A = this chain, B = another copy of it.
């Protein structure tokens, strides 16, 4: 797939499509829905992207690659810190990213019909996360602040898995968020899941956390 620059109209389509697909699912979102909400002609999705499925591909590319890029930028900003600070920052960053694009990441792993190389794109992102975590754990072990060295793919699994579960299971998790309302569920849940994951991860690492 050639990387593509999108015009404003195309970006508009992708934004609308993302929102609708995240809300209703890929199949339940019709080209007509997207186009009417985006204020453009029904034929334009085929015209611009070739097909609905190919549009989906561009949508993934549009989001996942941006996530990867922004993650790389973020990683730079914490390069100099201590391992425990870096770990805290990276957890907060990943969780924050998932919440920010909650209506996107949620279905990335669900919708199957998407071209494989898109999964590769996402896989790349996960692999970058794993190697960053790896570096941080090694650093913490060497500096002595971490006494245990769990597998970084398991740490990432816990982070992403728990976060997505919380995003997807509002009706469960809100039971334990007494002050959550319809409007602020996501921000309240984000706080709680970050706290949980920090505790969990530092416990695994054998790091005594004072939050």
Contact = CB atoms under 8 A, between A and B. Distances in A.
A27 B28 CA distance: 7
Contacts of A204: 199-200, 203
Interface string A110-151: 111100000100010011000000000000000000001011
Given A25-B111, A107-B110, A123-B172, 4 more contacts: A126-B169, A153-B175, A161-B166, A203-B204
Interface string A193-211: 1001001100110100000
A54 to B, nearest CB: 17
8 A-B pairs closest in CB distance: A161-B165, A27-B27, A161-B161, A161-B162, A203-B203, A154-B196, A109-B168, A153-B176
A72 interface: no
A126 B160 CA distance: 19
Nearest to A125: B172
B27 A157 contact: no
A164 interface: yes
A126 B200 contact: no
